[in-house]
Amino acid sequence: MQERIVITGMGTVNPLGLSVKESWDNLAAGVSGVAPITLFDSSPLQVHIAAEVKNFKPEDFMDAKEARRRDRYEQFAVASAKQALAQSGLEVTEANAGRIGVVISSAIGGLQSLQDAIITNYTEGPRRVSPFLIPMLMSNGGAGMTAIEYGIKGPSFSIASACASGSDGIGMALMMLRTGMIDAAVTGAAETTITSTGVAAFDRVGAMSRHNDDYSMTPQPFDKNRDGLVMGEGGAVIVIERESSARARGAEIFAELAGYGATADAYHVTAPDEHGAGGAAAIRMALASANANADEVGYINAHGTGTPLNDQAETRAVKAAFGAELAYKIPMSSTKSMTGHMMGATGALEAIFCVQAIRDGILPPTIHYQTPDPECDLDYIPNKAREAKISLAISNAFGFGGHNAVLAIRKYE
């Protein structure tokens, strides 16, 4: 029998708060993180809203000089990792440094740093490009800088699988622990795509909501009138380790990271398989990995972006994975209705939300839900959080390129 892998630390900075507690309190209360864009002048664009991280001061988490040499996404990664490691109490020593891994993912990396450098290159010349550009834009920067910060010498890397990056990274860390490659991991993701280029590009794909004037009611996952996602940003990191190690050092155990499943649609570079077959297969794989039955699942944290195709395909995936009768009984919500879509970081944050739902017996709502869609007819926990005691939750993350990743999180007893 496999030893259980447990979660002993969590950290995050995101549009709802600069800690797990602040974020969870706002999420349970149905607070939206969406507001007009302040990070840049959005007037030339057709989208003027986003879910930005507010009141973040990198010097609260790192040396001010180092902060200037890190892209915003890397700052989020390190800040989240510091919170998670502090909560876990896991001490990195010379003896264990090689047995700890760092898997902190990012779908895109330092997009703002790259955008700024391209402008500088063409307006001021190549000699004005920063010598720190490469470490600022590389998508493995968050992982590498966290490893350097703590002297962690085990495997350190980043997964890039679009919006599934965070969940895939956590899943890979789980696999390394299960195979005995490492004894503990610092894992999650960070993303900052709220730049003029990022917003313009996602809008040109047709994925973005343009409810600029009435942004208090967008995004609207699973609602008949949904018109697209709202871009978010942030970071989320957890510490996972062997149950025996956690218990030996007296660590508080928040939940068990029980399973992981991953598949590919092999269908289209941006659109999901309309039948949800790939997502359904990933759900079944995660449950098998957790040695769990479908009827044990008490909550699904949906990918739920608010785009017409995604929400419909995910609804079909859940029905295919659980069977129509059971699917209608499982509460399911999109927390992106409050955080926005944090791209590669979303799955990591939503894993934390699953832990909190299990611990507190509160299922977060899908806010902005007004008009039912006949094609999206499951229980989406509309508008108000719900009290429920659950022992197993799953988190769906489905990304561009047809990447599907699902995590299963179980109550620790």
Distance CA(221)–CA(333), nearest Å, equals: 9
Of 163, 211, 368, 376, which residue is the catalytic one? Answer: 163
Distance CA(406)–CA(106), nearest Å, equals: 17
Of 48, 211, 268, 341, which residue is the catalytic one? Answer: 341
Distance CA(274)–CA(316), nearest Å, equals: 8
268 in active site = no
Phi-psi region of 380 (alpha: psi -120 to 50; beta: other; left: phi over 0): alpha
3-class state of residue 50 by DSSP: strand
CA angle 3, 103, 73 (to 5 degrees): 145
368 in active site = no
Distance CA(363)–CA(56), nearest Å, equals: 27
3-state class percentages of the chain: helix first, strand second, coil last, to nearest 5: 40, 20, 40
Contact partners, residue 251, CB within 8 Å, separation at least 6:
8, 88, 89, 90, 241
3-class state of residue 227 by DSSP: coil
163 in active site = yes
Of 303, 368, 376, 403, which residue is the catalytic one? Answer: 303
| Residues classed as catalytic | 163, 303, 341
